[in-house]
Amino acid sequence: MTTNARVGKSKTPSAIRIYKGLSIYRVANSRKWYVRVWDRRTKSYFVKSTGQDSAILAQDLAQELALAMLRAEKPVEKEFTFRSFALKLLHRSRLQDQTGERSAGYVKALHWSIQNEDWGLLRHFGERDVRHIRTHSFQEYMADLTKRRPDLAASTRNTIMAAFRNVMKIARDEGAIEAVPQTPRVKLKDNPRPFFRFHPLVDKADDNYQKLLRTVRKMTAEGVSVRGLMVTDEMYDLILFLTHSFVRPISSELYTIRHSDVTVAEDPRRLIVTVRDGKTGFRAANTMEAAVSVYERINKRYPNAKSEDYIFLPQYENRTTASTMMQRLFGEVLKYGGLEVDVPTGKKHTLYSLRHTAICMRIINSGGKVNIFNLAKNAGTSVEQIERFYARFLPLSKEMAKNLQLFGD
């Protein structure tokens, strides 16, 4: 009697290697030899008992089995391979990046998911026939990926899943398959974002946002420098700008804003800031009124600025350098003021904490009346993200309770 089974890679006792991908072995307390052969189609080992006590006869049977499997393999037409549709998706994404339909970050994550040399989708599915890829095929891939990279976050695994689905959608749209295989999302664990606590969310004595501003003022007055770069009023204004504009403190957003991207508008008084290639693509964002005063001080600081000059650290043509310098200075400010950690969350503060502070301030200071959709649009995020990472972790205020019970005009 013979038994068939598919197994993962494992060490086998008393093994004899015939050639790469083909071997015979015996297990403890058994005289029979088993054959172990690599199946290129399923990307797994096929195991079968030879029913033989003789190693010589078992080797003959193993080679016959390997040849039979090779003959049974039907070559996949190139146009039906996963690779073919994946390359189409990558080409399309590059064009979308160039036209601004997709952000550079999205395209980078997509290419990373598909082309990673160690565990990317092409490595596993590349030559597979999309007509034979099922839900269990993807589940097997994810199970193997989890073993190989247990450190990957749930959000990263969902990014890989989205890339897989997008490849299969192209196959569906071109008529190669009728439907995209089901791929359940990995459940995400929502953690609150660290931000600087402010009044009235906390008592004035515990207002860390105001403490941050006072710390910068003090360091400026004392002439504190970090690696030759002084803490100045420009740092103070950068903090205020981030808190009242909702932009991200990254090279593709805050540090690429030029004077030509800023317009002062009235009724209400505000800045309209154009973010040309942000994390979520192009957007025009309205700021709070306080950002106008910041911009007026920037113009006084750089009176000869041209329209294409950057508004922060214009002396650094390389914007990654400008970003690094500000992050370094900000880290020193946090140490100086004892503000490195957001105590309620236990997470470290960064410049990104100011964006989180900006969103939380709008929710709290509006008494729950802010239009979440409008806030999400200005911040270049989604209503879902604001609800998941900000609103749900904020305490309900008296004003929010009143807002909840309004019946309209």
Q: What does each C-alpha distance from 298 to 23, 28, 205 come to in angstroms?
A: 73, 78, 30
pLDDT tens per residue across span 81-131: 999 999 999 999 998 888 777 777 888 899 999 999 888 999 889 888 999
> What rounded mean pLDDT belongs to the chain?
85
In this predicted structure, the answer to whether residue 207 has a pLDDT above a threshold of 90 is yes
In this predicted structure, the answer to whether residue 5 has a pLDDT above a threshold of 60 is no
Q: What is the pLDDT of residue 188?
A: 57
pLDDT tens per residue across span 58-74: 888 888 887 776 666 56
Task: Of 187-191, 203-207, 291-295, give the lowest mean pLDDT range.
Answer: 187-191
Q: What is the pLDDT of residue 40?
A: 67
Q: Where are the domains of the chain?
A: 4-72, 79-173, 204-404
Q: How many residues does the chain have?
A: 409
In this predicted structure, the answer to whether residue 344 has a pLDDT above a threshold of 80 is yes
pLDDT tens per residue across span 251-267: 889 999 999 999 999 99
Q: How buried is 118 (Cβ within 10 angstroms: 0-12 exposed, 13-18 middle, 19+ buried)?
A: exposed
Q: Domain 204-404 - what CATH class?
A: mainly alpha
Mean pLDDT computed over 24-36: 86
In this predicted structure, the answer to whether residue 346 has a pLDDT above a threshold of 80 is yes
